[in-house]
Structure 1
Amino acid sequence: MDDGNSSYFGIDLEVRSGGIEVLDSVNEIFEGAAAKYLSAVDADPARSNQHEIGGLPSVGFKSFLGTPGKSDGYPFPALMAYLTDDEDTELSRDTVTWYDARWRNPKRSPEYRLYYKSNPVTELIQPTDFFLIAKKRDGSLLLIFTPAGSSAEFQLRHLFGLPDVDQDFTSASMPSQTLILPIKLLLEELGVRAFDEKEVQNDLDMLLERFPDKFPKTAEFSAVAREVTDFDCITDPDAALIGWMEREEALFRAYERHIVSAKLRSGFGATGDDVDEFIAFSLSVQNRRKSRVGHAFENHIGFVFQEHKLQFEKGGGQRVTENKAKPDFLFPSFAAYHDQNHPTDKILLLGAKTTCKDRWRQVLSEGDRLEQKFLITLEGGISQSQTEEMQAKKLQLVVPEDIQQSFNTAQRATLYSFSQFIERAKASIC
C-alpha cells in the first residue's frame, strides 16, 4: 500500500522521506486566485449547454492555465469544496478542464471556459454563491463555493485579498502577511498544508519517546505544547493561547502523520487489504481530528484561568444549569449560579468554540439567569450579520487579538480580547 502518497477520505499523507514544504503566506502556496458571485449560467446546467464557468481570461487567469489545444483542452486535478456557516464542509476531488469553446470555429477568437462535472459539491452550488478559484504551485486547482455573505466568504476574501467582488471575476491581490491560526485551520480542512511540521521535529521525537504506540489524551498533548513553548499567559494571555494552539496543531499533525503512515505501510487485516478495517481506521482518524481541537482549546483556556487564579468550573456530570445544559466555563461556580441569593452580576458564563457556525446559539440557552453571556472563538472574519445578531442577543464575542484583524473596523470595536475577558472576570467575581 506504500505508493509514496496516500489519500483516504480527503486526508492527504506524504509518506516519502525528505522535507515537507509548508509555507506561511497565501502567495507562497498559490500562484494566483480570482473570485466572483456565480450567475445562473455558471451554476445551473439547465441554463447552459454544459457545466461551465467563463470570464477567467479577463483577470489574467489564462497565464496560470495556459492555451489549450483545439479539440481537447487542459485537464487539471482539482479539490472542490462547499463551505457553509452551519454544516460540515463538503469535499470532492475531481478533474476540471480548461478549453476553448470556439475551437470548432477558427474564424472566431478563442473563448476559454472551465468545464466541471457533476459531483457532490457541484450539486450544492446555487446562483449568487461566492466562488473562488486558486491555482496551487503544485499545478492543481482549489475551487471553493460558499453562500454569499457567509463567514466563509469573508475569511476567504481576507485570506486572498479580495476587498470587492461582483458577478465578474476579480483578481486576488495575494497578500504576503503571515497566515493567522483560523486561516491555517481552514486551509488544513481543505487539504492544504499550513502547519510547519519541520519546526516541531525535535518536539516530535520527544513525544514519540513518551507515547510511542498510540495517541496520548488531549490534555497530555496540550500540556506538551505548553511545555515546549515560551509564552507568558500572565502578561499576554492572547499570544499564549494562540501560540499554544499553533504548536499543538503542528505537533498533532506531525505525530498523526507518523502514526498513520506506519499503519498505511503495514496494511489492514491479515492480508493487508481488509477494506472494513481500513474504513474503520479512516473514520477514527477523521473523528479524532474533528473532536480534539475543541478539547485542546478548552484545555489551554482553563490553564490560563488557573494561572490567573480565577474561580471557575467546567460543565459536565452534575455541573449543569437549566435543562441539564453544560456551559464550557462558569464563574465562580455552579453552586453560586444555583444560589438565588448570589447576584447575577457576580456570575459569568463563557462558551468556547473554535468555530462559531450556527453553534454559537447553543450558548444562549445555557444559563437562563444571565442576561449577558460570553463566547470565545478562534474563527476569523465572522460575517457582520452574525456579529450583529450576537450583539442583539447579548452575546459578547471574545476573540484573541491577532485574529481580530480579520474583522472589519466596526466589528473590532465590539470585540473583547482574551485579556479583556480575564480582567472582566476578575472584576466581577473577586
Structure 2
Amino acid sequence: MSARVFMKRLAAVEIDPARSNQHEFNAGRLRQELGLKGDPCQGAVEFLFYKADDAEPAIVTESYTLYDARRNHPSRTEWRMYYTNRGVAAQARADDLMLLFRIDSKTHDLVALVVRRGTSLERELVRQLASRESEQFIEDLFVDSTIIDANTRRILLKVLRRTVPEGPLKVYPFTSHALFRQAVTQDEMPPTAAMADAALGVLADLEVTEHDPDDFIHLALAAETALFMTIEEKLGNMRLAELYLRTGPDFLATMKFAMSYQQSRKSRRGRSLENHFRSLLARLRIPHGYQCTTESGKKPDFIFPSCAAYHDPAYPSHSLRVVGCKTKVRERHAQWLGEAARIPLKYALCVDEELTDALIARYDGKLRFFLPTPILDAVYADRPSRPLLGSVADLIGELRTATATPRRN
C-alpha cells in the first residue's frame, strides 16, 4: 500500500494567533491514515513554506502532540493535533495548501509542505495528487503518493538549492579540491572532521588567519558549507537519477530524498561551529576543556581554562568561563543556563540571525551571545539589543583575560 498524504486548506483560525490560539487540527482520521499511535503521540514537524515558484522554501521546525481530548469519556473520543506556532503564523496564509505526511514509519516525525495558493506548484500538486483543479479542492483529503511531473519535482527540490558563496570564496575552485574528487570517486560524503580540515585548507589558500577571529570563524563556516554543497550537488544528482530508475518520480520518494539531505545539512552544521572554534582556540593557544562533565548529566561544549580547574574547589570561580556553541539557538538557551553551576554568566557562540531583542534582554547578566562581526553588522547593527551582543574577537579577549594567571579568592 502506498504511503498516505493528508491534504487540506489552512483556515485562519488554525494559523493566525489574532484569530485564535487554537493551533490544532481535527485528527481522528489523520491518526489512522498516517499510522500515528499512542495517547499522547508526539514528534517534530518540519514545515516547508513554498511561497513563490521562483524561491526556495522557508523551513521552520515545530513540535506536535496528538491526543484524545475526551480520553476520560467512557464512550467517546475526540482526537486533536496541537502544534507549536513559533514560526508558522509568520509564513502561512489562510487558504494555503498543506500536505502532511510521514517520511519514516519508524518515527512519529512529520513533514508539512505549505504551498501558497495561486502558485503553479500549488495548482500542480492538487491536480496531480488530488486529480482535480485547485478551485475545486475545498475539503480535507487523504491521497496515495503518486508520480509527479519534472517541473513539480524541480520546484520541490529547491529545498536543496546550493547557496552561492560570497566574497573571496565566490571564485574558489571547489570542484578541483582533492576532497571533492575523493567524495565523487567513493560516492560518499566525507566525515565532518575531514570537511572542517578541508575548510581550513581553503582559508590558508586565501591567506585568512586566526589573527582576525571574526573573519576566521565566518569564512571557515562559509568555506565548509560551500565545499559541502558542491559535493552534495554532485552526489545528489547521481543518487536522484538512481532513485528514479528504481521507483519512478514519486511525490513521497522525492520528498524523502530531499529531507534526508536536509537532515544531513543540519547535522553537519551543528558540529561545524564547534570544530572551527576548537581550531581557533588551538591556534591562539587558549587553554580549554572540551565537552567534559561538570555536574551529573551536564556536559557543556567548552570549559576554560580546563576541566580540572573547574573541579578544583581551590580554583577561583570568577576565573572560570563556559562557552556553548550552536549555529541556531532555538531552545538551547535553557540548557546552557543549567550547565556549569560554578559559572553564573554563560557565554554562547552562534551564527543565529533570528535572535529577538526580547530573548537577548531577558538573559542579560546570565547568558551573553557572541556572533561573527559580519552577522552583527548585517543583522543587529541597528537593533536595541546590539550593545548586549559581542563579537568573536570580544569573546577571545574575555577568554584570554580569564585564563591568565587567576586571582585567588
TM range (shorter): 0.5 to 0.7
Deviations 1:211-253 (A, max 9, x none): 3211111111111112123254432110111111111111111
2:355 to 382, 400, 404: 382
Partners of 1:224 and 1:362 lie apart in 2 by: 31
1:294 to 261, 266, 270: 270
Aligned to 1:204: 175
Aligned to 1:418: 392
Give, in angstroms, the shift of residue 194 of structure 1. Answer: 3.1
Partners of 2:397 and 2:373 lie apart in 1 by: 15
Is residue 2:117 matched to residue 1:117? no
| TM-score of the superposed pair, with normalisation by structure 2 | 0.58
Residues 248/413 of structure 1: CA separation in 2 closer, same or farther (3 Å cut)? same
Is residue 2:163 matched to residue 1:194? yes
Paired residues of 1:314 and 1:330 also in contact (CA < 8 A): yes
Aligned to 1:428: 402
Give, in angstroms, the shift of residue 410 of structure 1. Answer: 2.6
Residues 193/38 of structure 1: CA separation in 2 closer, same or farther (3 Å cut)? farther
Give, in angstroms, the shift of residue 209 of structure 1. Answer: 2.7
AA partner of residue 396 (structure 1): R
Paired residues of 1:238 and 1:401 also in contact (CA < 8 A): yes
Deviations 1:310-333 (A, max 9, x none): 001210xxx211122111111111
Residues 347/202 of structure 1: CA separation in 2 closer, same or farther (3 Å cut)? same
Give, in angstroms, the shift of residue 273 of structure 1. Answer: 2.4
1:227 to 191, 194, 201: 201
Aligned to 1:332: 305
Q: How does 1:63-142 map to 2 (within 5 A)?
A: 77=53, 81=58, 83=60, 115-120=95-100
Paired residues of 2:164 and 2:226 also in contact (CA < 8 A): yes
Aligned to 1:216: 190
SS in 1 for 2:323: strand
Deviations 1:301-353 (A, max 9, x none): 111111110001210xxx21112211111111111111111111221100001
Extract unaligned runs of 5+ from structure 2: 6-15, 24-50, 64-83, 102-115, 123-156, 405-409
Give, in angstroms, the shift of residue 264 of structure 1. Answer: 1.8
Give, in angstroms, the shift of residue 256 of structure 1. Answer: 0.6
Aligned to 2:247: 273
Residues 231/90 of structure 1: CA separation in 2 closer, same or farther (3 Å cut)? farther
Query: Whose relative contact order is higher, 1 or 2, with alpha carbons under 8 Å and at least 6 apart?
Result: 1
SS in 2 for 1:397: strand
Partners of 1:192 and 1:208 lie apart in 2 by: 18
Paired residues of 2:328 and 2:350 also in contact (CA < 8 A): yes
Partners of 1:88 and 1:210 lie apart in 2 by: 43
AA partner of residue 205 (structure 1): S
AA partner of residue 350 (structure 1): V
SS in 2 for 1:410: coil
Partners of 2:194 and 2:348 lie apart in 1 by: 25
1:40 to 9, 15, 19: 19
Partners of 1:88 and 1:205 lie apart in 2 by: 44
Aligned to 2:343: 370
Partners of 2:361 and 2:196 lie apart in 1 by: 33
Is residue 2:375 matched to residue 1:403? yes
Residues 82/304 of structure 1: CA separation in 2 closer, same or farther (3 Å cut)? closer
Paired residues of 2:160 and 2:261 also in contact (CA < 8 A): no
Identity over the aligned pairs, expressed in percent? 23
Is residue 2:285 matched to residue 1:309? yes
Deviations 1:347-373 (A, max 9, x none): 110000101111122111110111111
Paired residues of 2:62 and 2:86 also in contact (CA < 8 A): no
Paired residues of 1:233 and 1:241 also in contact (CA < 8 A): no
Residues 336/391 of structure 1: CA separation in 2 closer, same or farther (3 Å cut)? same
Partners of 1:90 and 1:414 lie apart in 2 by: 25
1:355 to 307, 328, 336: 328
